[in-house]
Amino acid sequence: LADIYLLYAEALNATGDPSNALKYLNFVRVRSGLPAYVAGSAPVAGQAELADAILKERQMELVGEGKRWFDLVRTGNVIKIMDPVLKRRQIAAGTPAAEAIGFSDSRRILWPINRSVINANRKLVQNPGYGGE
């Protein structure tokens, strides 16, 4: 249920209904024993901050369920959140710092759409980096 509440809160926030988004975010927080956020105060003062708070709550609430990567891709936060992690790992594995590319290659974020799926729906466009852009 927390997954659905938080997705709904994300959708409400994205469509300009922050008060209801905060309500559903707080349902999850209060149920888990955390204090409710207050509208207009940190860390939910604006739409971007509320979106970050929802994403953070999803990270904590759904740990181990395999949803984090898809949350980051859906919200456009892969580079912001994961790029420093990947670059650190590349450097630790022996890649010179100047050559650590992180997620600068879009193929590290999205996989290609299967050709049969594109053939079945001509309105689909192949993901960047796989031809057919």
pLDDT of residue 132: 59
Angle at 41 between CA 69 and CA 73, to 5 degrees: 15
pLDDT of residue 25: 97
Q: What is the per-residue pLDDT across 106-132, written as a single tens digit (0 to 9) for each?
A: 788 888 999 999 999 999 999 888 875
Place 53 in a pLDDT band, splitting at 50, 70 and 90.
very high
Share of the chain above pLDDT 90, in %: 80
Q: Which of 49-53, 58-62, 77-81, 106-110 has the lowest mean pLDDT?
A: 106-110
Contact residues for 73 (Cβ-Cβ < 8 A; gap 6+) = 109, 110
**Mean pLDDT, rounded, of the chain:** 93
Angle at 113 between CA 64 and CA 120, to 5 degrees: 125
Which one, of 130, 111, 132, lies nearest residue 122 by Cα?
A: 132
pLDDT of residue 28: 97
SS3 assignment for 48-90:
HHHHHHHHHHHHHHCCCCCCHHHHHHHHCCHHHHHHHHHHHHH
- Mean pLDDT to the nearest integer, 49-54: 96
pTM: 0.81
